[in-house]
A and B are shown apart, each in its own frame.
Chain A
Amino acid sequence: MKNDIKVTDTQDLISRLRELASKGGRLSAITGVDLGERIEVIYSVDVAYTLYNVRIEIDLEGEHVSVNDIFANAWMPENELSEMFGVKIQGVAGRLLLAPEDEGKAPLRKATRIEVLRGGF
């Protein structure tokens, strides 16, 4: 995609996002993509109608950094990312859309079969 910024570690991610925020950037979306062993997280930041996509691959285990202190509107997207992909994010509960009985099922992971989510239907 246009304006892709690929980063490999958390510090680089934070510094790139801070740089975009200092230019008046607005967090547009946080997208998770299941790569199998890892999750790719794409932070899409709009700076004067130009969209920059900062991409990082994270492990399923361990705790990923939160960007809520850079973008105050990150808490809903981060909760959604955590809930839908089953990744842990610092200080994020990971509860947003799913019903209590579906918690922890990480429905957007490829390994999650859709039948599991349909329950008794």
Chain B
Amino acid sequence: MQITTTVPFGPQHPILPEPVHVKCELEEEKVVSVSFEVGYAHRGMEKALETDYMKGIYLSERICGICSNIHTTTYVNAIEKIIGIEAHKRAKYIRTIMAELERLHSHLLWLGHAGEAVGFENLFMRLWDAREIVMDTLEFISGNRVQYAMNTIGGVRRDITPKKEKMIEDHMNRLEEKMIEIKRDMLTDYLLKRRTAGVGVLKKEDAVRLGTVGPNARASGVPWDLRMTRYEAYEYINFRPIVLEGGDNLSRVIIRVEESFQAIDIIRQCLNQMTPGRTWYRYRHEVSGEAVARTEPPRGELFYYIKGNGTNVLERVKIRTPTFMNLMTLPTILMGLQFADVPITILSIDPCFSCTDR
């Protein structure tokens, strides 16, 4: 007779940076059923954002500790659409540089975690060492390492001076050198391949059916990338989404490595194309009407719906974060796995629960 064992995974688990509860039912060591619970980090941010729209910039930045900048970018994009203004061109470039730096630090952070999850701790240390260059760059630009307070309605609060431009260029060169070495060691590593290749496969049709977004979708052959809508300075940048066909954990690792190189390239393009100019203009007005803004943070599509009621207090703010969609792939990718592969597979979708729960 086959005995079914229920194994709770989380909300607190060494592999999880944030809390989620995944309930796995096992037959011997094989996963036969999966369910999950979220909400451990729910703070009621949507309700809190029904406030003065200028305070909303500060609040939206605190939804996530990793992609904090893109939350404010999407928020201010929606407000700018409602009041009918557009940021200056230089501000758009600065927002794009910040977005790509954030993508870099998010991907490097995740890749380090993935290395740790499969027992490759040296990789974890090297990637986080490389990530430190990105954190330093962010600190030089904004004065902060996590919440940068760069965006405001109509532009950005800080310019990137020529001295800083040079510094960003130097940092990207240093980072690229390190990343080339790390990529070589990483993608030829026997252990990493054995633990990730063919594990946690998300087929293209499942990725489409489940509305998967971001690198998880692109690793399964779905070429969705909101940057192709050419918001901010992406309309001037030459790039194509990176798409892989494997759909397994290894593909989700490789795509984040490749997107890190792409982010460096986009930052360089921005630096080369930027011309001197204004970065912000003073704007203070009542917000009347509604708008949707969408962007492509490191984990996939971020959606903001904002409705104003003719005062400075917002009527409704709806936020749909990428992990909110990607979580629904968990039962599909975990089913049939050995239990030992569950941690790295949960981690492979790069879940962010402070975003999901809001």
Contact = CB atoms under 8 A, between A and B. Distances in A.
B211 A73 contact: yes
B42 A28 contact: no
A76 B303 contact: no
Interface string B297-335: 000010101010000000110101000110110000000
Contact of B39 (A27, A28, A97): A97
A31 interface: yes
Contacts of B224: 26
A103 B208 CA distance: 32
Contacts of A114: 44, 47
B357 interface: yes
Contacts of B46: 84, 108
A1 B290 contact: yes
A82 interface: no
B42 A29 contact: no
B210 interface: yes
A51 B328 CA distance: 21
Task: Count chain B CB atoms within 10 A of each CB in A27, A34, A46, A75 and give the residue with the most.
Answer: A46
A44 B39 contact: no
Nearest to B315: A33
Interface string B28-49: 0000000000110010101100
A29 B303 contact: yes
B39 A98 contact: yes
Contacts of A29: 303, 305, 318, 320
Given A1-B291, A107-B44, A97 B211 contact: no
A1 B210 contact: no
A84 B47 CA distance: 10
Q: Give the contact-size bracket for chain B.
A: 20 to 34
The A interface, classified by DSSP as helix, strand, loop or mixed, is mixed
Given A29-B320, A31-B318, A97-B357, A107 B38 contact: no
B179 to A, nearest CB: 30
Given A33-B316, A73-B325, A26 B292 contact: no
Nearest to B212: A73
A65 to B, nearest CB: 19
Interface of B: 38-39, 42, 44, 46-47, 208-211, 224, 226, 228-229, 290-292, 294, 301, 303, 305, 307, 315-316, 318, 320, 324-325, 327-328, 357-358
15 contacts: A28-B303, A28-B320, A29-B303, A29-B318, A34-B316, A49-B229, A73-B209, A73-B325, A73-B328, A76-B325, A97-B357, A97-B358, A108-B46, A114-B44, A117-B44
